[in-house]
Amino acid sequence: MSESKSISPHKHNGADFPSYEMPSDNDLKVMLSEFHYLFEMFCERMDLSLSDISVDEKLVIKALIRLDQRRLHYKMYHNGTIINELKEVAILCYWLIKYKPIIILEDGVYTTSKINEVFALFLILSTIVEYRFTQGLPEAVIQADMIQHIMYTLRNRASTFDSMVILVDALADR
Amino acid sequence: MSEKMNEGKWTGYTTGDKALALIRQVKSDMQADNTPNEQVREGKTFLGFVKAGAERQTEQSDKLIQELKGALV
């Protein structure tokens, strides 16, 4: 089988396989400050005091880089696909739930319980609102009791990228 | 695709031009096999887009925020 000898796992169509480059420091700085803004908005709407909360920003940066990696994955392996905002938020939330960067002081104890999932849902709902508005569609109908079901899923069920994408797509009623 | 069984041993290998045609067909099918992906933000970053949604408070989103508050407890 002399033909197979010329196929190298490190080459793609004869050229070196491209390697991933992380977003620039400045781009990540902008993303981090946007994250701060969103997080403060979340705390304000949840009536949470920022003095009771701590955020491990290293984990936030890591989640943002993971999202960027996934964008490139789709572009490379899915025929140049630029993923939409619903997929982006699903992927970001997958990592935020996995890394749990937010810690809250509750009854004198620091805990990651629930707040990361609630923040993720806040991001998902906000993205759905904007996605449908931008497309000129009426607001998606999401029953209030769905929140408890989704919270249970996010906290207790094994989720993958794909299941998160399906969940967000279904909520967005696409 | 031809598939022949010979005393339990599969001998239906596709070779030569037929193999190339098969490969091209699979590549073409895979390129066509995508879900819709309309990215809708214009001139906004992704998180800027999420922020715009968070700022767009509606009757329903206010109701869902109340549910989220309840879920925190």
pLDDT tens digits in sequence order for chain A, 174 residues long: 444 556 676 777 778 877 889 999 999 999 999 999 999 999 999 999 999 999 999 999 999 999 999 999 988 888 888 999 999 999 999 999 999 999 999 888 999 989 999 999 999 999 999 999 999 999 888 888 889 999 999 999 988 989 999 999 999 987
CA distance B24 to chain A (A): 15
Chain A residues in contact with B72 by the CB 8 A cut-off are 46, 48, 114-115, 118
Whether B53 contacts A128, CB under 8 Å: yes
Give this complex's ipTM: 0.86
Q: What is the pLDDT of residues A90-102, one digit of tens each?
A: 999 999 999 999 9
Predicted pLDDT of residue B11: 79
Compute the average pLDDT of residues B19-28.
93
Predicted pLDDT of residue B48: 96
Instruction: Please give the sequence-ordered ranges of beta strands (E in DSSP) within B3-69, or none if there are none.
Output: 5-6, 9-10
Q: Is A91 exposed, middle or buried (0-12, 13-18, 19+ CB in 10 A)?
A: buried
CA end-to-end distance (rounded Å), chain A = 49
pTM for this prediction: 0.86
- State the pLDDT confidence band at B1, using cuts at 50, 70 and 90: very low
Predicted pLDDT of residue B4: 60
CB of A78 within 8 Å of any CB in chain B?
yes
Sign of the dihedral through C-alpha B5, B6, B10, B11: negative
User: In this model, does residue B73 exceed pLDDT 90?
Assistant: no
CB of A50 within 8 Å of any CB in chain B?
no
Half-sphere exposure of A122 (CA within 13 A, CB side): 30
Q: What is the pLDDT of residues A70-117, one digit of tens each?
A: 999 988 888 888 999 999 999 999 999 999 999 999 888 999 989 999
Nearest residue in A to B50, CA atom: A127
- Residues with Cβ within 8 Å of residue A39, at least 6 apart in sequence: A55, A102, A119
Chain A residues in contact with B39 by the CB 8 A cut-off are 82-85
Q: Is B60 exposed, middle or buried (0-12, 13-18, 19+ CB in 10 A)?
A: middle
